[in-house]
Structure 1
Amino acid sequence: MKRIWFNRWFSVAYHYMNMIRNNPYGERFELYGTHPNIQHMSLQACDHAETEPVLEGFEYVEFCLSFCKRHRIDVFIPRLKMLEIAKYVDLFDQIGTKVMLCRDTELMENLMEKDLFYESVRGKQIVEIPEYYVVNTAVAFKEAYESLTSKGLKVCFKPTNAEGGMGFRIIVEEQNRLEELYGWVNLNITFEQAYEAFSSQETFEDIMVMELLEGNEYSIDCLASADGELQAAIPRRKEAGRLYLLEDVPELLEISRRFAAEYRIPYVYNIQVKYNNGIPKLLEINPRMSGGLYITCLSGVNIPYLAVKAVLGEAVAIPVPQLGITASYVEQPIVLMTSEAAQPELEKSI
């Protein structure tokens, strides 16, 4: 029985562990998980869970190596500190643990810093990139904003190294603050508000000031072999509310093939694009399982399990994805633990 470890992950790792466990071949796995919060949702699907220490740099890599040795881990699926782990992946090879990540550390560094990756894509005829500027002063922010708006573009900004939607804001001409107090929390901010905040410091961490893409947004979940050969690419369109559409979009499949041919990212990754005026433009690439991958797997392609098989070097037939599926999700209550006081009542109810 193979042992698989997820280090500190998002809550959706709960789904990915269960997908590996409930694979179509009935293959058995032993699942390990760690997180600083032992009650974190991602750990509820584990066979074994431990509290993860908060460490930086090589100290964290040493913790990972020790964990893999102690539990004889066969496959390590990291999310936290992927770049640091990639730098020392040979040490995991030496102890017999296979790691599900991209070993190309230069590429990983570019993927972590969105502006670096944009520049690596520019001119390669893979996909269009949005117009943008990288700034770290209020003066440069003002100049970038004025340059973009002079071209008739709406503007947004986000940190160059943010994960997901962290730090993303849309610049609007005006706000009705009272209306917003009574409405939903949103990402809007006026130029004046942003400029005032940025002016509070002489310099700040790099942000990308860029054109706002207003069309359909897609996540393309990709499955690849160990050498980066694309095996499946499934576009998932974000709709209103919690709706998603698994859609056959030849243009996006071709973009996925071009990315795979150029960058050879192994195992699992996610390409995010958004349309503007009918043109798909790159948002980012995540070299890991995406937050919405469990929706994509409704296509009939169990990507977490197939990626594990790829890491282990074991061939498995890749099913043809079923597209044209509209999907959503709902919350489901899960009991994390039962106090001793409640135990007798629980036994009576049974």
Structure 2
Amino acid sequence: MKPVRVYFNRWFSVAYHYMNLIRENPDGVPFTIYATHPDINHMSLQGADIAETEPELTGLAYVEFCLDFCRRHAIDVFIPRLHMLEISRHIARFDEIGTKVLVCRDTELLESVMLKASFYERVRATGIMPVPEYRIVRSAEAFGEACRELGDMGYRVCFKPNDSEGGLGFRIIDNKRDHLADLFGYVTPYISLEEAQTILAKASSFPDLMVMELLEGDEYSIDCLSDGEGRLLAAVPRRKAGGRLRLLERHPDFLELAARVAETFRFPYNFNIQMKYNQETAKLLEINPRMSGGLHLSCLSGINFPYLAVKSALGGKVPAMELEADILATHIEQPVIVQRREYQLPERFN
């Protein structure tokens, strides 16, 4: 059987696990994994069979690079992370060369997901789940007013850029910090309102900030698998259980939520819903229209999310699946040789 050619562009380090999960699939389908990254020694590339250096490009120039790569290597399935929106806008060009792309084709939806405020409003309009109380600010003065307003409503306050990924730029307002202890302690996300406002006031401009209620309860990451039409095939709720522990559990409310999200938005293939409790209410943090950073842990459920997404994209039949038992899981670092250089020993050692 001719190996299926799969390409990952610039991904996080955990793509190493996704590549191996695809390669070690239960159907015995052979794969050749291709990957690119600006750093040829990046961890994500260590899981690839063929790796190349990726140029630092944006916009259409980056799409052209990806198209050329897929064309040159006759790629069957492309799994993008970087610049997904631009790739989605030009998806027809990948169709023309016969490359299936694991990306949401609804560019309007994809764009709204990347701007948290617009997506929160979209979710609020559907009524399928609660969203946090928030304000969008563009000035230091508005920032201070929003923090005080939410504080007066009884919330602890946090903020992050409206257009960001993961924990980038996330800070928690705490006006009772011991600055000397902070100086000699670990780096933390905490900052006082006065410090934050002073920094923002000194800037001529800054990206839109989302000031929001701090959700302080249990955090869940729900890894989901849909077919190419957005029909849900599997969902695994994964709770942070302290330190590196993660509990994969059959949480009925979140399994139902995953079904509602799939039915409402029709995200194809792999997507992830992040929820966090404030007291008794779980509220949306964000939805990632791609494989999550902890997806390899959810695969301990026996559901091979990366491989099944590829299989579905290629027209294979993927049945609906469920988590069969609660699983407490963790992870450890794994040493990997990136390069090996042989040396000729001096004669005195021979």
Compute the TM-score of the two structures, normalised by the length of structure 1. Answer: 0.96
Say yes or no: does 1:277 pair with 2:279: yes
* Match of residue 335 from structure 1: 337
Give the conservation status (yes or no) of the 8 Å contact 1:309–1:316: yes
| Structure 1 residue 252: Cα displacement | 1.0
CA distance in 2, matches of 1:180, 1:190: 12
Give the conservation status (yes or no) of the 8 Å contact 2:249–2:323: no
Matching residue within 312, 315, 318 for 1:316: 318
* Match of residue 191 from structure 2: 189
Say yes or no: does 1:249 pair with 2:251: yes
Give the conservation status (yes or no) of the 8 Å contact 2:250–2:323: no
Matching residue within 99, 103, 115 for 2:101: 99
Q: Deviations over 1:109-165 (max 9, x none)?
A: 001101110010113221100000000100110111111001111000000111000
| Structure 1 residue 183: Cα displacement | 2.7
SS at match of 2:234: strand
AA of the residue aligned to 2:156:
K
| Structure 1 residue 220: Cα displacement | 0.3
AA of the residue aligned to 1:258:
R
Q: Deviations over 1:165-197 (max 9, x none)?
A: 000000012211222233322110010110111
* Match of residue 147 from structure 1: 149
| Structure 1 residue 318: Cα displacement | 4.5
CA RMSD of aligned residues (A): 1.4
What is the aligned residue count? 345
AA of the residue aligned to 2:193:
F
Which ranges in structure 1 are unaligned for 5 or more consecutive residues?
A: none
Say yes or no: does 1:81 pair with 2:87: no
SS at match of 2:250: coil
SS at match of 1:122: helix
- After the TM superposition, which segments of 4 or more aligned residues of structure 1 sit over 6 Å from their partners? none
% identical equivalent positions: 55
Say yes or no: does 1:72 pair with 2:74: yes
Give the conservation status (yes or no) of the 8 Å contact 2:176–2:192: yes
AA of the residue aligned to 1:181:
L
SS at match of 2:194: helix
Give the conservation status (yes or no) of the 8 Å contact 1:130–1:211: yes
Matching residue within 265, 268, 271 for 1:266: 268
Q: After superposition, where does 1:3-14 map in structure 2 within 5 Å? A: 3-14=5-16
Matching residue within 122, 131, 135 for 2:124: 122
CA distance in 2, matches of 1:183, 1:299: 38
Q: Deviations over 1:6-58 (max 9, x none)?
A: 00000000000000000111110110000000000000011100000111100
Say yes or no: does 1:46 pair with 2:48: yes
AA of the residue aligned to 2:73:
H
CA distance in 2, matches of 1:255, 1:320: 14
* Match of residue 174 from structure 1: 176
Give the conservation status (yes or no) of the 8 Å contact 1:300–1:319: no
Q: Deviations over 1:210-265 (max 9, x none)?
A: 00000000000000010000111110001221111001111111111111111000
